[in-house]
Amino acid sequence: MVDALAGWPLITSPLFYAVAVPAVLLMGLGKSGFLSGFGALATPLLALVVPVPQAAAIMLPLLLVMDATGLQQLWRERDAALLRRLLPAGLAGIGVGTLLFGVFSTQATAGVVGALTLAFLAQRLLFPPQAGTKPLPRWAAQGLATASGFTSFVVHAGSPPLNAYLLPLRLPPLTFAATSAVFFAAINLAKWAPYAMLGLIDRTNLATSLLLVPLAPLGVWLGVRLARRIRPDWFYRVAYAGMFFTGAKLLLDGLR
């Protein structure tokens, strides 16, 4: 891969790759559904060593490779009815993100996402759902899906808003993972044209993404296998833990 990219303007900083390698693996595990929530930390981590828009641009081709890996293994487990309800709103969120690109700082967006994520978790802790609790109404589902599309466009942190709707449904782990995988595969594919139009897809970012591509399916492959073996109660404990750490990290980024 390195020989094939000879002459391309790669990022060469060792510090960048020391952060990028674990960030890509973490995103892959999150894309599998096993560490759902933790994957949203990947772009903020990468933003420690490059500007946020560049971090998002480098991650996008890797996300598409992860999506292809996840779809191959999880497509049959998806909840098609849920996707019909959520996807149009998620794609609308991409449109909102494109129109508002540069209006709101990425730090402010990250801070709002982090605060809402922690507020959701606090609500779940203080008022745990009882047997027979109804899911959120359709308007709330579509609002969270739109927010997911928007925050995914800005900082690839779309999982906290989506999980705020999906987690209370207590879907089987594989159904949860597959539905999330299909949703974000469509969202990430829809981001490609706006990113290119905004000048975020350049030779340096693309070459750096290609160098990291072999890592992209590894985390997804490992996570899917773990998701098939983990008990549902532990699956959801890990998912909520991921939302907590992601919410805290994004809130701290916003407060800076």
Q: Output the DSSP codes for 105-134.
A: -HHHHHHHHHHHHHHHHHHHHHSPPPTTPP
pLDDT of amino acid 80: 93
Integer Rg of the chain from CA: 17
pLDDT at residue 97 in the model: 87
Q: How many CA atoms lie within 13 A of 205 on its CB side?
A: 20
- For 188-211, write each residue's pLDDT tens digit: 999 989 988 888 888 888 888 888
In this model, does residue 83 exceed pLDDT 60? Answer: yes
Assess contact for 183 and 83: CB atoms under 8 A. Answer: yes
CA dist 43 to 40, 156, 184, 238, Å?
7, 6, 15, 20
pLDDT computed for residue 118 by the predictor? 79
**In the predicted structure, residue 187 carries a pLDDT above the cut 90:** yes
Whether pLDDT at 4 is above 70:
no
Q: Are 251 and 122 in contact (CB under 8 A)?
A: no
Q: Are 28 and 237 in contact (CB under 8 A)?
A: no
What is the pLDDT at residue 95?
A: 93
Q: Measure the CA–CA gap between 78 and 101, rounded to whole angstroms.
A: 31
pLDDT tier for residue 91 given thresholds of 50, 70 and 90:
very high
- Give the per-residue pLDDT at 38: 67
Model pTM?
Answer: 0.75
Give 250 or 4, the one with higher predicted confidence: 250
CA–CA separation, 144 and 82 (whole Å): 13
In the predicted model, is pLDDT for residue 81 greater than 80?
A: yes
Pick from 67-71, 101-105, 211-215: least confident? 101-105
Tell me the three state secondary structure of residue 253. Answer: helix
In 3D, which of 51, 66, 41 has the Cα closest to residue 187?
66
Nearest-angstrom CA–CA distance, 8 and 39: 28
Residue of 185, 183, 205 whose CA lies nearest to 196: 205
128-175 residue pLDDT tens: 655 555 677 888 889 999 999 988 887 777 877 888 888 888 888 888
Q: Coil, strand or helix: which one is 104? A: strand
Q: Is 137 left (phi over 0), alpha (psi -120 to 50) or beta?
A: beta
Using the predicted structure, report yes or no on whether residue 2 has a pLDDT greater than 80: no
* Helices and strands counted in the chain (H then E): 11, 0
Q: Please state, as a whole number, how many other Cβ atoms lie within 10 Å of the Cβ of residue 97.
A: 21
φ, ψ of residue 101 in degrees (nearest 5): -60, 125
- Rounded to an integer, what distance in angstroms lies between the CA atom of residue 10 and that of residue 15? 14
Q: Are 184 and 42 in contact (CB under 8 A)?
A: no
**pLDDT top residue among 201 and 84:** 84
Question: If pLDDT is split at 50, 70 and 90, which confidence band does 90 have?
Answer: very high
Check pLDDT > 80 for residue 120: no
The chain-wide mean pLDDT, for the chain, equals 80
Which candidate, 147, 138, 66, places its Cα nearest to that of 114?
147
Percent of the chain at pLDDT > 70 equals 82
Strongest mean pLDDT among 76-90, 98-112, 161-175? 76-90
